[in-house]
Amino acid sequence: MRLSLDSFRAGLQPGTVYRVAFSGGLDSTVLLDLMQELRFLIPFELQAVHVHHGLLAEADGWSRHCAEVAGKYGIVLDTLRVDACPRPGESPEGAARTARYRAFEALLNPGDILLTAQHLDDQAETLLLQLMRGAGLPGLAAMPAVAPFGRGMLHRPLLRFSRREILEYARNKGLTWIEDPSNRDERYDRNFIRRRIMPQLATRWPAIAANLARSAGHCAEAAGLLDKQADTLAAAATPADDPASLDVIAVRALPPDEQRLLLRRWIKKRGLRAPSAKLLERIRWEILESSGEHAPAIAWADGDVRRYRQRLYLVPPATDFAPSWTSDWTGETLLRLPGGDSLVASLESGPGIDPARWRDGTITVRYRRQGDRIEPAGRLGHRELKKLFQEAGLPPWERNRQPIVCIDGRIAAIGGSRWLASEFAGPREQLNVVVHWDQTAVAGNGHRLS
């Protein structure tokens, strides 16, 4: 298929706001040029995003080049600086990719479409890489053309076109781009496959890239069907009173292959990478199948799987946390907590803090201290927080991280508005202040106080 404005437009995901991931290399330069041409034909908002990894001496020059190209087009360029240093056991390419996509994800607004410039040859190389790593169907499915991403969508509109077709377009348009010297370094697996393996395969099978990409599509279709099956299994094993957990008894009743299918999907839907097959088997035996009342746990780089009271929990990697942390809060703006969580307050119908007490008091936020007690709204008598948490079945690792909102030094609400103190609770027939504890700063359907 020849790359032209018409053939490109035919496969573009419809949208009103596009952000092009622009490295300044050949592929993203062509992608940005195509989008620039297209916006003269159909109306949409176009921006470019450049990630400065800071890993090579040329990085500053690449940023300047990208700014010049975007300026020539009259396009706004966001330059994002990231920390791309690899963690123990992580490859440099993997660390850079993770840092890059986290930066992209944070930038997207609801409805935005992030465009990246992977093409047909990239897809084929990815499939070979995954085969060399012994990947399962999700890995062999390689890269989808369209996928949910953060608050928006990720779209790869060049996946149907080869590297040769992209180069031909760039030369015909007289485009200029930068060459990353690391792309010639064959110590990196992808470069080795691109420079050594694929040319050899193409001498015998000229359509190798297209054929491998087609196989990736077949794997993606099969993986999608398995995901649907896993979602059905997960729905049957998810307790109604705790949708973040899995019922151990229900999962244990499944055959081993369905247990593995369910666990992988459950972990993936929580935004974490699945552990290795070996570690997944340990989770099955040591968490699911082990007996006793103790709380077993298995950790890997992306998180922990733990069991508590016959429920299975997925705990993200530990973040910096200071139990002695405290902060003043106006109650009118979002408050960031240690580790990235946040609190936000809104006026809503139903149970909550009396707005008059909220407005007239001094608000502070902290974590649990020894001897903390409240009289829960709707109940008689004070309770130690330890007893309150035990009664609610709150897992031990979550108890010290419950944010506590105080008014004039006295506890008003715990865990957002999960527990309210009776002395601060407002009448149910009025709008009350509800505190939401979240990582996405969503305040529900109420009215913001700000």
Q: Would you list which residues are annotated within the binding site?
A: 23-28
- The helix or strand, by DSSP H or E, that contains position 250, with its residue range, turns out to be helix 248-252
State the Cα–Cα distance between residues 34 and 48, nearest whole angstrom.
Answer: 13
Could you list the residues known to form a binding site for ATP, using ranges. 23-28
Q: How far apart are CA 192 and CA 187, in angstroms?
A: 7
Which tokens sit at 19? 């952000």
Sole residue written with tokens 């409805």 = 111
Task: Tell me the three state secondary structure of residue 221.
Answer: helix
Burial category of 232 from C-beta neighbours within 10 Å (exposed 0-12, middle 13-18, buried 19 and up):
exposed
CA distance 177 to 175: 7
Instruction: Give dist(CA 354, CA 423) in Å, integer.
Output: 9
Distance CA 301, CA 216 (A): 27
Task: State the CB neighbour count (10 A cutoff) for residue 114.
Answer: 22
